[in-house]
Amino acid sequence: MNLPEVTQVSFDVERIRQDFPILREKPYGKPLVYLDNAATTQKPRRVVEAISTYYETSHANVHRGIHYLSQRATDAYEHARDIVQRFIGATHREEIIFTRGTTESINLVATSWGGARLSSEDEILVTVFEHHSNIVPWQLVAERTGARIRPAALESDGSFSLERVLDAITERTRIVAIAHVSNVLGIVVPLEPIIEQAHRVGAVVLVDGAQAIAHCPVDVQKLDCDFYAFSGHKVYGPTGIGVLYGKRDLLERMPPYQGGGDMIRRVTFERTTYNDVPYKFEAGTPPIAEAIGLGCAIEYVQQLGIPAVEQWEQQLLDLCIERLECIPGVRLLGPHRERTAVASFVVEGVHPHDIATFLDREGIAVRAGHHCAQPLMDFFGIAAASRISVAMYNTPEEIRRATETLDECIRLLR
Ligand code: C6P
């Protein structure tokens, strides 16, 4: 079988790869090919160093002490907020709330905004391709408030239908909670018309940016979304840190999500008053080192430039899809073109876990399973799929190795 060949494209990927020590690992004695980047990305050395330097030179609790180290830690933590603000184009630094990740960011909005605003008359609009993190928090608040969750469908071939989403936005819609990029299909959702339509009926929009943040430019002012959530670990930063962007006036009107230190102004047994945003939503000691690591990761990405990264990854993905299309038995999920960073597929007669295990023995990391998107698996009538997901440090040669090994695996197992 003739698989399309690797073509040379210009991006100094070899230099970038030098920044990621883990890429030199050799699982089972084979060179690592890490193609599970949608699950989590690897970390450049400077992020790891920023975290250890912080612990070695500046660690103390933030916002609490007047001593030297506390001031230093606070400055570094707040500087990370400024970096995030600039990265996503937020108007005010107070609009950036540090959370544990996308999941916590969405839970915060569902609990705080949803708990206060939703009633049995209201609808929460999602899509069938949402990650469980953008479904279950809404189910929890729907149970408490009586609101109804309405999932917008895809076209029968798995391609995105703007019309179906726009049609599903009605006078009853209070919130549209939608992924910017699907973690299974790689669909890039055209957010602007959806946000415009939602605002027309008085609804707000939460964008789950978990799979977009490392791959396409994000400008929350231009989008005019009300909330934008993402995780640090998917954009070359540490685990345990995420971001919730929210428009300031909305955040100011929302009740706190969790109670504890730092989120209060004055506590008495009779009545407690709360701190200003963003601190109202950052109860307890925050993930200080992680925020610093995230700031460093974002600066790293900014130096390379998201448009250059996007272009490189697009070439890798196009090559990957072209080669998958040539392997007998492979069925790609969703559209073959106009997608970003991920390619999910099924192979008739071969279980995705067997594929992932076969590839793993060759040092190639891909993900197999339901990808935390069981309603989407139901839509396709499957239980699981295999997924290749790329990042800026991947190479055409790695795509070649992965697809050739897949071809061999299918020929052996089918
Ligand atoms: N998707 C994947 O392999 P957390 O776990 O909070 O960092 O991110 C959750 C999340 C939310 N939305 C989308 C679209 C996502 O893709 C994810 C994480 C990983 O696809 C792990 S299941």
| d(C-alpha 110, C-alpha 108), whole Å | 6
Query: Is 5 part of a structural domain of the chain?
Result: no
255 three-class SS: coil
Q: Which residues pair with 207 in a beta bridge?
A: 178, 228
Task: Give CA–CA dist 180/177, Å, rounded.
Answer: 10
206 and 332 both lie in a single domain: no
pLDDT in tens, 282-333: 999 999 999 999 999 999 999 999 999 999 999 999 999 999 999 999 999 9
Annotation marks residue 296 as catalytic: no
pLDDT band at 64 (very low <50, low <70, confident <90, very high): confident
Give the distance (Å) from ligand 1 centre to CA of residue 63: 30
Based on the domain organization, do 248 and 351 belong to the same domain?
no
Q: Are residues 295 and 322 in the same domain?
A: no
| Pocket lining: 37 vs ligand 1, CB cutoff 6 Å | no
The residue from 271, 303, 335 where one domain ends is 303
Which residue's C-alpha comes closest to atom 17 of ligand 1?
Answer: 210
Looking at the domain assignment, is residue 348 inside a domain?
A: yes
Q: For 323, phi and psi rounded to 5 degrees?
A: -75, -35
Looking at 216, 225, 320, 372, which residue is catalytic? 372
- How far apart are alpha carbons 163 and 349 in whole angstroms? 35
> Is 371 a pocket residue for ligand 1 (Cβ < 6 Å)?
yes
Per-residue tokens: 305: 């430039």
Give the residue among 15, 47, 33 at the shortest CA–CA distance from 232: 47
Same-domain pairing of 107 and 170: yes
Residue 6: pLDDT band with limits 50, 70, 90: low
Percent of the chain with pLDDT over 90: 95
Q: Tell me, using a 6 A CB cutoff, whether residue 387 lines ligand 1.
A: no
Work out how many domains the chain is built from and give that number: 2
- Report pLDDT for 363: 98
- Segment 178-223, tens digit of pLDDT: 999 999 999 999 999 999 999 999 999 999 999 999 999 999 999 9
Cα 413 to Cα 354: distance, rounded to the nearest angstrom: 9
- Find the angle CA(97)-CA(98)-CA(104) to the nearest 5 degrees: 100
pLDDT tens track for 87-139: 999 999 999 999 999 999 999 999 999 999 999 999 999 999 999 999 999 99
63 and 137 share one domain: yes
Cβ-Cβ contacts under 8 Å for 119 (sequence gap 6 or more): 145, 146, 147
